[in-house]
Structure 1
Amino acid sequence: MESSWMESSWLETHWARPLYLTLVFCLALGLLQAIKLYLQRQRLLRDLRLFPSPPTHWLYGHSKLFKDGKMEILEKIVEKYPCAFPRWIGPFQAFLYIYDPDYAKTFLSRTGKKRDDSQGPNPPRSDMTQPTDPKSNFLYKFMTASTGKGLVNLSGPKWSQHRRLLTPGFHFNTLKSFVEVMAQSVNIMLNKWEKICGSQNTLLDIYEHIDLMTLDVLMKCIFSWETNCQTDSSHDNYVKATSEGSNIVMQRVFNYFYHYDLIFKLSPLGHRLREVNKILHRHTDKIVKNRRNSLKDENKQTNTQKRKYRDFLDIVLSAQAENDSFTDADLWSEVNTFMLAGHDSVSAGISWLLYHLALYPEHQEKCREEIRAILGDGSSITWDQLSEMSYTTMCIKESLRLAPPAVSISRQLSKPITFPDGRSLPAGMTVVLSIWGLHHNPAVWENPQVFDPLRFSQECNKRHSHAYLPFSSGPRNCIGQNFAIAEIKVIVALILLRFQMRVEPTKPVVFVPYVFIKPKKGIYLHLKKLP
């Protein structure tokens, strides 16, 4: 018995010591992490002390304030706190939101050295400089699993390289050839509407139709691929996945605990995002595989050479063939990036424009009269005619002011910044330029909630250079902005020639700030075919 008792005691002692040491080690690590987080919070409080903010919860920060995603909350804050305010994401993370044009100019105008000397003494203007501040570690880092590292979330010399290689895909000569293709896709949608509506006044959720149509335009123009996605329901899952994916990414950005990869991966949202990404990546893989297979076929390669233009995918594949540093991962990332950004942003922009024109029928009628005078019955439409649509262009700009597709952009400061009013921030801070806040700032725009296209008339051209930024500004402005504006003009022109639109008062539109702003429950309009 004594021997058995001594053996048990020895085992307990033998195992207890490592357990105690492990426990002490874990407690020490926990204490060090707590000290680190405490110091991080104190540093943020010190760095942001000059910028007042709305009251915060000690644990949730401002999360509860913005939990419904209502943009009206942000508008009230913009009115109460001039220029900027800190937005706390939990107790240990904060971003500085800015929405003043002078702040925006200071923030976006920071550039570094010339890219390199390989372009000679006079490189193209878009390649002369690269941004000083890299993209934020939050939104863009969280997007990487879905998009890879493309133009949207690259920084430094690699961003400059990609920008230089891809810019020719959006040259005006290339864009001119897209107009006819865009018109074909729009007419497919309008023919569907005619079958649905007949001669009756019909209530329709236009957003899902616009979403498919803009996907069709993108696939044809950028990838020269006839998908028939407007009539083939096999693409519905992809469209739903893009919306769900951006929603999940934004939920992660504004939940501090989801910033930790392990917590997010183990969460239901993390699991669902992996499923969504599989759908998105299969679509991208199919695009690249389809083109590579076509290039292997000599006859199809000849057809490619006979096209009037080199599309985006031609340019990306050529870049890869000519530049060893442009890898398969780079190719995949850029295709993914342009699929998501090019589709969602235009879909949002045109949907809000149609909603605003339906809400203000007097402006809708003025646009229709202008378009009829230029296009007649709309049997054909050319690039040159788009530049004649002056009033329609003003309405497009005003709609993009009221509802910019990308509600914000963010950067992590690589060096200290001092704003025009003398307040400053140190390196390492994340700054978010709220384009929505800027465009709704009553200190910048008179009656900012009113839809007034005349703000953009030639007589009212004394705006601050950084008061209106739907496509950002500086070296990292949107590479596809001219493509987007041309597409929106073609779409709205052909729609207004065939349909009259009115809003449905019982179904108001609610804005939801995903990666791109979207309607929470669709956009329902009354459509009536014009004689």
Structure 2
Amino acid sequence: DSRIKAFAEQCAKALSPGGNGGGRPTFTDYFATYDLSSDGRAPSADFKQIFRTAAADSDKIDADVADKQVRLDMFKFVTGTIEQTAALVTGVLYELARNQNIQNHLREHLDSELDEHQQQVKIDQLDRLPYLENLLKETLRKYPLASVVRRVATKPYIVPGTSDRCTIEPNSLIVVPVHALHHDAEHFPEPGEFQPHRFPGQLSSAYMPHGSGPQSYIGKHFVELEAKLVVAMLVSRYEVHLDSSNPGTPPDSLDPRSFAGVRLKVVNRSGVRESRMYTSLQQLHNGNNEKFMFF
């Protein structure tokens, strides 16, 4: 298809160092600046250089191929987190709309940290908003992005506490029910309630919204950072409510896609109608000082 080919060419150009021709930072410039060891300078120890060096050290791949492969992996990393971020933000906003006291408490924290005329949230400001971190953790507990985690056993394992010495054999597929663990009252009292005050504190081993161990979701920190930025900017500027005239269908915590039936009302805190909002996450309907958000 000619459109797909054109899109691929544009992506390749944008992802190539200096490919935009306008002197503006490229896609990769936002993540890392790297130096080739062959140019006489010491290579940097940033994220991209680590992967590039590891790939180039192989006898089966040259530096140019390694560079292209890393750019491709980074592109997958960023684009692959879009859906995860949207699902997390959706869950947070839905719970804030249902729990106005929690929303007001978060807004108090945001107002104390963010300037009234500030257009962007800074990373160091997010670090000073622990309640926002707690909100994300509780949302991921109630609506885990993956309801199960699958692993393959690499060696025999005897399950402790089993009278018949139940053994998991090598190459056996193990399915960990993350959603069930997150909604187990033994680990999280009143699991059906949204309670950000569960955190901080020592996280239970049953808490694994991104999986666990070295095979956990590689984009988890990036997803949470993006979600914090979006939620902070939205809640600092708008009030979020359930649309009482058309509340829609309550979402199923097992299926993030079920949020598609939820309708929220977004009210500008200043009472001034604005022409644009974060349209990547919702569809807006014009009103006086009210906007409607569909998931």
Establish whether TM, by shorter chain, passes 0.5.
yes
| Post-superposition offset of 1:284 | 6.0
Taking a change above 3 Å as real, the CA distance of residues 512 and 470 of structure 1, as seen in their structure-2 partners, is closer
- Deviation, structure 1 residue 333: 6.1
1:409 to 132, 144, 149: 149
Change in 2 beyond 3 A, CA 1:306/1:399 = closer
After TM superposition, give the deviation of residue 299 of structure 1 in Å: 6.5
For residue 137 of structure 1, what is the aligned residue in structure 2?
A: none
Q: What residue is the counterpart of 2:291 in the other structure? A: none
> Quick one: which of 224, 233, 252 aligns to 1:511?
252
Identity %: 21
Conservation of the 8 A alpha-carbon contact between 2:142 and 2:182: yes
Determine which of 205, 222, 227 is the counterpart of 1:483.
222
Q: Paired residue for 1:373?
A: 112
Equivalent residue, structure 1, for 2:197: 454
| Highest RCO, 1 vs 2 (Cα 8 Å, sep ≥ 6) | 1
Quote the offset at 1:320 in angstroms.
Answer: 8.6
Question: SS of the counterpart of 2:207?
Answer: coil
Aligned-pair CA distance for 1:501: 0.7
Larger Rg: 1
Shift of 1:288: 3.0
Structure 2 partner of 1:428: 171
Deviation of residue 463 (structure 1)?
A: 4.6
SS in 2 for 1:500: strand
Q: In structure 2, how many angstroms separate the alpha carbons of the residues matched to 1:449 and 1:281?
A: 47
1:295 matched to 2:13? The reply is: no
Q: Secondary structure at the match of 1:421?
A: coil
User: Between Structure 1 and Structure 2, which shows a larger proportion of helix residues?
Assistant: 1
TM-score, scaled to structure 2: 0.69
Q: 1:472 aligns with which of 206, 211, 214?
A: 211
The aligned length equals: 247
User: How far apart in 2 are the matches of 1:429 and 1:354?
Assistant: 39
Question: 2:94: which partner in 1?
Answer: 355
Give 1:406 shift: 2.2
2:18 is paired with a residue whose SS is helix
Structure-2 separation of matches of 1:340 and 1:305:
12
- Residue 298 of structure 1 deviates from its aligned partner by 7.2
Q: What residue in structure 2 maps to residue 394 of structure 1? A: 134
Structure 1 gap segments, 5+ residues each: 1-274
Question: How far apart in 1 are the matches of 2:123 and 2:258?
Answer: 30
Counterpart residue identity of residue 480, structure 1: G
Displacement of 1:476 after TM fit?
1.9
1:310 match = 32
Q: Which runs of 4+ in 1 moved over 3 A?
A: 278-286, 294-300, 302-309, 311-333, 511-514
2: CA distance between counterparts of 1:485 and 1:280?
Answer: 31
Q: CA deviation at 1:483?
A: 2.1
- CA deviation after TM superposition for structure 1 residue 471, in Å: 2.3
Is the 1:316–1:331 contact (alpha carbons within 8 Å) kept by the matching residues of 2? no
Instruction: In structure 2, list runs of 5 or more residues that go unmatched.
Output: 34-45, 271-295
Equivalent position amino acid for 2:155 in 1: K
**Does 1:437 pair with 2:180?**
yes
Residues 62-96 of structure 1 deviation map (CA, whole Å, 9 limit, x = unaligned): xxxxxxxxxxxxxxxxxxxxxxxxxxxxxxxxxxx
Deviations 1:471-511 (A, max 9, x none): 22221233332222222221111111111111235302433
Cα distance, 1:377 vs structure 2: 1.2
Alpha-carbon RMSD across the aligned residues, in angstroms, is 3.7
